[in-house]
């Protein structure tokens, strides 16, 4: 599932999302705006969300083929700009048991 997801490939940029949301909402400093998953235009490059991948598998194959994450699994997320530089650094996280 690992793939580089570039900010410039996203169909709706953050500033456009905020501008659109502000037309019907009273947004101000510290408002939190969620956009959902941001995937590659080309599914062969990967997915941003397991649920999204499972939905697309169900459409294509009649059932999901990818399982959900389990204890001990890990994931790495990193976003790159047009010059292939990391925007916020890599987030490398393992799924652990609750304490």
Structure-block tokens of residue 16 = 């456009």
At residue 55, the pLDDT reads 87
**Average pLDDT score, the chain:** 80
Low-confidence ranges of the chain (pLDDT < 50): 1-8
6-18 pLDDT, tens digit per residue, is 444 555 567 787 8
Domain boundaries, the chain: 5-94
DSSP strands (E only) in 1-99: 5-6, 74-77, 79-80, 91-94
Evaluate whether 57 touches 65 at the Cβ level (below 8 Å): yes
């Amino acid at each position: 599932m690992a793939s580089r997801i570039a900010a410039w490939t996203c169909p709706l940029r953050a500033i456009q999302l905020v501008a659109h949301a502000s037309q019907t909402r009273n947004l101000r400093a510290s408002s939190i705006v969620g956009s959902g998953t941001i995937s590659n235009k080309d599914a062969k490059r990967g997915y941003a969300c397991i649920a999204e991948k499972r939905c697309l598998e169900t459409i294509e194959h009649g059932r999901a083929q990818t399982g959900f994450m389990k204890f001990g699994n890990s994931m790495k997320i990193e976003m790159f700009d047009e010059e292939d530089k990391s925007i916020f650094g890599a987030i490398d996280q393992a799924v652990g048991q609750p304490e």
